[in-house]
Amino acid sequence: MKRIVVTGAGGSKAINFVKSLRIAPERFYIIGTDCNRYHLELSNSDKKYLIPSCKDPEYVSALNKIIKEEDVGMVCPCPTIEVEAIS
């Protein structure tokens, strides 16, 4: 089973992306991250992490820690601002 991190997991883009993954024939273990604990609860991910905002200097290291600990094969940053922070 492929393991994927979806950032901004409580946002509309991420919620729709996770819905698409759930109906795909291939199975995914989805790890959602968000900096807002209330938004994070909206995510239908298998596991959820509250992480710092992408504007926080600790954002990339927090995300990298999750990627390493969860043996993630793909990261899908959903909010545009997080795409910029990761790249």
pTM of the model: 0.93
Which one, of 5, 11, 1, 21, lies nearest residue 68 by Cα?
A: 5
Q: Tens digit of pLDDT for each residue in 12-65?
A: 999 999 999 999 999 999 999 999 999 999 999 999 999 999 999 999 999 999
- Counted domains in the chain: 1
pLDDT (average), residues 61-83 = 96
Domain that holds residue 72: 2-86
Per the DSSP assignment, residues forming a β-bridge with 77 are: 7
Using an 8 Å Cβ cutoff, are 3 and 28 in contact? yes
- CATH (domain of 6): 3.40.50.20
